[in-house]
Structure 1
Amino acid sequence: MTPEALSGETLRLADAVAADLEGVERLGVAYSGGVDSATLLALAVRALGPERVVALLGVSPSLAARERTIAHRVADLIGAEVVEIRTHEGEREEYRRNDVDRCFYCKDELFTRIDDEVARELGLDAVAYGENADDAQRPDRPGAEAATQHRVLRPLARIGMVKPQVRDVARVLSLPVADKPAAPCLASRIPHGQEVTPEKLAQIEQLEAALIDAGFSDCRVRHHGDIARLELPADELPRAVAPGIREQLQRAGKDAGFRHVALDLGGMQSGAFTLQILNARGSL
């Protein structure tokens, strides 16, 4: 990740991020291990050096163990220190009631913990997170308001880096998450208005892990009480009902505590719960 390793558009974007971080002495990157935060972390390390950047990983029941492991592996490849921050959004009534602003309270919890518990200890004079320019235009990202209130930097969005560019930069930097599907927190699988509980999160995590172990490239387990509604990539739907696989998924659902396992023929639907409610309320 030296300047000599970059060229063309990637070098321009990397230099733009470096310019946006000019004046920062020690940066904390709110980090999940996804492509946006990993790319920001790598570019921050390139701009400031590894001794001046730390990855801040929020850990709670809403973070799948699989994602936690990936985050550590990617940060290690980047050469960045990871500090885990135990967050307690599940203790907030506003988070548990699970309205469309749930993500605000999750991000507010993380940034509050950073401000109150680790910023001074780690000597941070700034915190950034991996919002890209596409996400900045979406109406279903209430966490962005929490970032604004806590004065969190968003270099990728500020320089206009859109998602395809983020993935291109990640590929040039040889980040293993360059083509990783989005992995929103486990709470996003619970319909708005239904309480978020540790038990539901554990059910979702267990069944999603079984789907990945069964060879599916991506998945969402939508929690509808006794029913698990499986969202899979459209081209992988036929495999889910193939002999042997169908029975395997049924058993996995029962093992996770669901009475019924249903396959959603619509495939993967990012932000479906939130967008549906915002549209009904006339917020779009």
Structure 2
Amino acid sequence: MTKTQQLVDFFDQFEQFSIAVSGGIDSMLLAYIANGYAKAQVNIVHAYSPAVPESALVRVKNYAKKYTWQLKVIDALEFQDDNYLDNPVDRCYYCKSNLYTRIAEHGVGPIFSGTNLDDLGDVRPGLTAAKEQNVLHPYVEVGMNKADIYQLAAHYGLEEIHSLPAQPCLASRVETGIKIKPVDMQFIDKVEQKVRKSLPSLKNIRCRISHQGIFIELDQLPEQALFDRLSARLSQYCAEQGRIFSGMKLYQKGSAFLNGVNHG
């Protein structure tokens, strides 16, 4: 039995359900397969906030139009939650608690997420919130990991999402204990867009806001001449924004989390 058929068999246990779609490959593929092959009424819900890159919202809307999704764009209201804004090490718990609460208000049936088997190996407070609110994870139910998801996306010719790197929310770039602010989310998104224009082939680009200043983390550091030019431009831009540019270094997953919680 194919992975697609296993997912469809899982979906067909339900008359209707809602899928939380972030704009990343996992949830986008899940929505694509459910909307295209499941018998159930499929409701796609995207939560847009300052912590979500504008590109993710555009991507979700484009797919909804192209594949006739029944889409709702909502505000998860996490920026009204002081527990989230304080940016504790379990910030993701408060984020997902708000997200799933809002989806339950706007969606129908059980809520599905794009969590896959590989996610279960990380320390993810958001999974605790999902469990508390009875969120189901179809990829986990049928035994799919990240490699399976990329393979399926390629099979269906979904080139835009197949080429996407991992895209954790912008708040994941802020070091634990530094308050989450909308202006910082905008700054991070703009900086990462600037860097990607100079280094379009890199998979992971992170603008980190730390207690020591602004760091840019990259899969691979560019050759010296480009390194120097890009550093100068970033230093100038940070100065214009009243920030201190502290340099570029190699990407380290979860480096913004001071106790080593494994996130983007």
Q: Tell me the residue number matched to 2:216.
A: 230
Q: Tell me the residue number matched to 1:52.
A: 41
Report the 3-state secondary structure (helix = DSSP H, G, I; strand = E; otherwise coil) of the residue aligned with 2:216: strand
Q: Tell me the TM-score normalised to structure 2 length.
A: 0.89
- Aligned-pair CA distance for 1:89: 0.8
Amino acid at match of 1:47: Y
Mapped to 1, the partners of 2:167 and 2:140 lie a distance apart of 19
Q: Tell me the residue number matched to 1:282.
A: none
Mapped to 2, the partners of 1:178 and 1:278 lie a distance apart of 28
1:128 corresponds to which of 109, 112, 115: 112
Q: Tell me the residue number matched to 1:6.
A: none
Judged with a 3 Å threshold, the aligned counterparts in structure 2 of structure 1 residues 159 and 241 are, in CA distance, closer, same or farther, namely same
Q: Tell me the residue number matched to 1:254.
A: 239
Mapped to 2, the partners of 1:231 and 1:35 lie a distance apart of 22
Mapped to 2, the partners of 1:65 and 1:202 lie a distance apart of 9
Instruction: Out of 163-172 and 52-61, give the one that drifted further.
Output: 52-61
What pairs with 1:166-205 in structure 2 (closer than 5 Å)?
166-175=149-158, 176-205=160-189
Q: Tell me the residue number matched to 2:29.
A: 39
Mapped to 2, the partners of 1:131 and 1:261 lie a distance apart of 34
Q: Tell me the residue number matched to 1:245.
A: 230
Mapped to 1, the partners of 2:133 and 2:56 lie a distance apart of 25
Q: Tell me the residue number matched to 2:68.
A: 79
What does the per-residue CA deviation read over 1:13-50, in whole Å, with 9 as the maximum and x for residues that have no partner?
Answer: 0111111122312221100111100111112113325x
Amino acid at match of 1:113: R
Judged with a 3 Å threshold, the aligned counterparts in structure 2 of structure 1 residues 256 and 82 are, in CA distance, closer, same or farther, namely farther
- Aligned-pair CA distance for 1:133: 0.7
- Aligned-pair CA distance for 1:270: 2.0
Q: Tell me the residue number matched to 2:142.
A: 159
Preserved CA contact (<8 Å) 1:253 1:261: no
Q: Tell me the residue number matched to 2:259.
A: 277
1:93 corresponds to which of 57, 82, 87: 82
Percent of pairs with identical residues: 26
Instruction: Out of 149-158 and 205-214, give the one that drifted further.
Output: 205-214
- Aligned-pair CA distance for 1:52: 2.0
Preserved CA contact (<8 Å) 1:28 1:128: yes
Instruction: Out of 83-92 and 215-224, give the one that drifted further.
Output: 215-224
What does the per-residue CA deviation read over 1:202-226, in whole Å, with 9 as the maximum and x for residues that have no partner?
Answer: 2212212222233443411000257
Mapped to 2, the partners of 1:76 and 1:268 lie a distance apart of 35
Judged with a 3 Å threshold, the aligned counterparts in structure 2 of structure 1 residues 146 and 239 are, in CA distance, closer, same or farther, namely farther
Report the 3-state secondary structure (helix = DSSP H, G, I; strand = E; otherwise coil) of the residue aligned with 2:143: coil
Preserved CA contact (<8 Å) 2:231 2:247: no
Judged with a 3 Å threshold, the aligned counterparts in structure 2 of structure 1 residues 166 and 152 are, in CA distance, closer, same or farther, namely same
Unaligned 5+ residue runs, structure 2? none
- Aligned-pair CA distance for 1:261: 4.2
- Aligned-pair CA distance for 1:256: 4.0
Report the 3-state secondary structure (helix = DSSP H, G, I; strand = E; otherwise coil) of the residue aligned with 2:183: helix
Q: Tell me the TM-score normalised to structure 1 length.
A: 0.83
What pairs with 1:59-74 in structure 2 (closer than 5 Å)?
59-74=48-63
Q: Tell me the residue number matched to 1:107.
A: 96
- Aligned-pair CA distance for 1:229: 0.2
Report the 3-state secondary structure (helix = DSSP H, G, I; strand = E; otherwise coil) of the residue aligned with 1:221: strand
CA-based RMSD = 2.2
